[in-house]
Structure 1
Amino acid sequence: MGTRPVLTQPPPAPRSCQALPQDWGSGLCDCWLGDGIGLWGTACPCLLACRLARAAGESGVLPCLPGALVALRTLLRQQLRIRGCVLEDWAAVCFCCPCAVCQMARELRLSC
């Protein structure tokens, strides 16, 4: 009178009306698009990163924490349904931080 082992899993629930992942609205190296973000990101990337964190609903001191910009970029990418992976987020922030911050700010359409 023992229980039977589970041999199959139920199918996943159908997804309803989710938007397909998209690409970033601008390239990583498109810092000078005439929107003022590139100038601000070049002159004061730390201030732009703090403003970006606040616009994303996080604390303004978040960018001061080690690894926090990678987490912020991943969060934005997931919220905005942008294609990519954590490794790409890490590489963008690690090797081209001011450009990555500008790209994120443009995606949130921060006004300067």
Structure 2
Amino acid sequence: MNQSISVQPQSRVYQQDASKWSTGICHCCRTCKQCCRSVWCFPCIACRTAQRHGECLCLPLVDICSIINPIAMSLRATTRERYSIQGDFCVDCLLAVFCCPCVYCQIQREIQHRQLPITLGDLVQRK
């Protein structure tokens, strides 16, 4: 009797325990200087955050020219993925559209809290 057994390769998902953001979206009181900068000079805070995130310094300028703010959405989503933070893309989208400066401040606070730079290479290696 010839029996053939075939096993299909399966993907493995390695997920650490999901954590929460170190600060809320509106916790500007902790970093008043940063929040004032985001209100009075939004391009400065956005570009600096993107640079600390490991992306091109000028990338957030796309957000200034659009209604949807795709870069803020993307940076928030990759920050959540990198640090295994709870949430979903719908919330990222809503926050980026209605409170873009707060999103950039929250991302910058999270990077500062974790003290780890996020790079695109890290995300590619994980997949």
Q: Structure 1 stretches of 5 or more lacking a match?
A: none
Letter of the aligned partner of 2:42 in structure 1? P
Pick 1 or 2: higher relative contact order, CA cutoff 8 A, min separation 6: 1
Identical columns (%): 30
User: TM-score normalised to the size of structure 1?
Assistant: 0.77
Letter of the aligned partner of 2:27 in structure 1? D
2:99 equivalent in structure 1: 96
Letter of the aligned partner of 1:58 in structure 2? E
Aligned-residue offset at 1:19:
3.1
Identify the match of residue 56 of structure 2 among 56, 59, 62: 59
Distance 1:13 1:100, change over 3 A: closer
Pair 1:69 & 2:72 matched: yes
Aligned-residue offset at 1:9:
5.2
In terms of fraction of residues, the more helix-rich structure is: 2
User: TM-score normalised to the size of structure 2?
Assistant: 0.69
What is the Cα-based RMSD across aligned positions, in Å? 2.6
Distance 1:10 1:58, change over 3 A: closer
Identify the match of residue 40 of structure 1 among 30, 37, 40: 37
Aligned residues: 104
Distance 1:101 1:63 in 2: 10
